Structure 1
Amino acid sequence: MLKLNPAYKGLTLFLISLILSFEYNYYFNFGIFLVMILLMLINKVSIKKIVLAFLPVIFLAVGVFFTGFLHSGESTDVTSLTKIVVVIGDAETGMQLAMRIMAFASIGLFFVFTTDPRLFILSLNQQFKLPRNFAYGILAAYSFIPIVKQEYQNMRFAYRARGVEKNIFMLPMLVTAVRSSESIAMAMESKGFNSRGNRSEYIKLSVSIWDYITLIVATLIVLVGTIIF
């Protein structure tokens, strides 16, 4: 999976998710969830990372299950004297909703854990003709994340060294972001960057026969599975 073209991998998972959106069988959705977990382990994603990523997903799925279980049935009175109302729950509806969340979350996390974001954007630009302005803009924004993190740490240490109790981060970080964006813009302009004209690629991504096989086979398996189940 790590050697697949990122854009075609994303397209494959998108088609699988689209097919699953019409499927309400919780056994099948749970099967997709297990397959995605297995693929993560095969691709050497750490168990700790998987567990931490799925903690909020499990919490959400449990909440949705009880919502469907308690509020999807009809209400009836136990006695006419006390007028105690009991909700006849629908466990199947709760399971359908919960397993759909687990299935979709596992697909998304599998893509995130096994795909380099930079290569994904470059693949969208090279294989799916994403406009260069958008592609390089997204890459520039993504490169700001470690810069902002480092600047935040530097400001914390600077405030601590000066004994300042009220830390104001927004204004200094905004100034730093503006300066960095101006530097990147001038660097791109000095290199002759524009949205027109042909440019050479430092990283050239290609599409292999395995990308097409994975796309067709995985989509057909899920499609046949939804029909059978």
Structure 2
Amino acid sequence: MKLLLLLIIALEISFTTIVSLNVALVILAIIYLLAHRTRLRTLGWLVLLPLLPAIGLWSTQYINGSGDRTLMAWVLFTRIYAFVFTGATFTLTTDVLQLTDSLEQNWHMPAKFAYGVLAAYNLIPRIRHEVQVIRAAGLMRGQVLSFWSPQLYFKAILISINWSQNLAQAMRSHGFVEDAPRTHYRQIPLTKVDWGIVITGVILLQIGVFVIPWT
């Protein structure tokens, strides 16, 4: 439900030109992240990483835009941060396993796709390790495989394909059949509280867009 609320927020602020609303969303997102004990260093990166594209959008709109260029420049600048920080409230506080279980059980995502997402997520640490092994093996042969080396990524892709085939065989050997009726060990039900949070969030967003006289 958190994902649904964030999608609604992202869609709505994409069509609004209210700077103060974007700033308010950023502040609320920071408060939410701090309440979930997000490290200050992480918050600092969330401020610094979007800074260059935000400045680029601001300057492009201010120099080449039409209409109220100053307003639109700040709208685009703050919108970038609103997207980043509201997105961070999801990515930094949501467990991937619970997310995929919820999407499969409550939103009827195909089980094959849900398990594929989990497999890809869990393979990331192994891929990083294999990249280090490939680079070390290259150095032993006198080859320096840099970050931009196509050979490095080609070998990593081949290893990933092999892993995916092994995973598919393992799932079939454990009796996994797509579209077959299944029970779930981990139940992720949608509660009235979840629906209440979404409805309240949407109502507050509409009040912020249409009622509050932002400046």
Taking structure 1 as the reference length, the TM-score comes to: 0.83
Question: Within the alignment, does 1:141 sit opposite 2:134 as a pair?
Answer: no
Q: How many residues align?
A: 207
**Offset, 1:73:** 5.0
2:147 aligned with 1:164: no
Alpha-carbon offset, residue 123 of structure 1: 0.8
Structure 1 Cα separation of the partners of residues 36 and 156 of structure 2: 37
What are the superposed Cα offsets for residues 139-165 of structure 1, whole Å, 9 maximum, x if unpaired?
Answer: 2222221111111112223333x2523
Rg: which structure is higher? 1
Alignment of 1:89-100 (within 5 A): 90-100=69-79
Give the 5 Å matches for 1:98-137.
Answer: 98-137=77-116
Amino acid at match of 1:93: M
AA paired with 2:23? Answer: F
In 2: Cα distance, 1:119 partner to 1:227 partner: 35
**AA partner of residue 222 (structure 1):** L
Q: State yes or no: 1:178 paired with 2:166.
A: no
Residue 225 of structure 1, CA deviation = 0.9
AA aligned opposite 2:97: R
Deviation track 1:33-92 (CA, whole Å, cap 9, x = no partner) reads: 111111111111111112113322122112211222222258xxxxxxxxxxxxxx8322
Task: Using the TM superposition, give the Cα deviation of residue 218 of structure 1 relative to its aligned residue in structure 2, in angstroms.
Answer: 0.8
In 2, distance between residues paired with 1:188 and 1:201? 15
Taking the aligned partners of 1:22 and 1:73, their CA distance within structure 2 comes to 17
Q: Which runs of 5+ in 2 are unaligned?
A: 146-150
d(CA) in 2 for partners of 1:204, 1:91: 50
Aligned pairs (5 A) from 1:60-75: 60-73=53-66
Q: Deviations over 1:108-141 (max 9, x none)?
A: 1221111122221111001101111211122222
2:184 to 201, 205, 212: 201
Residue 3 of structure 2, aligned match among 7, 10, 28: 10
Change (3 A) 1:182 1:209: same
Pairwise CA RMSD of aligned residues?
1.9
Change beyond 3 A, Cα 1:177–1:59: same
Task: Give TM-score, length-normalised by structure 2.
Answer: 0.88
Q: 1:78 corresponds to which residue?
A: none
CA separation in 2, counterparts of 1:218 and 1:155?
48
Q: What amino acid is the match of 1:68?
A: Q
CA contact (8 A) 1:19 1:223 kept: no
Equivalent residues of 2:17, 2:72 under 8 A apart: no
Q: In the alignment, what sits opposite 1:47?
A: 40
Displacement of 1:20 after TM fit?
1.8
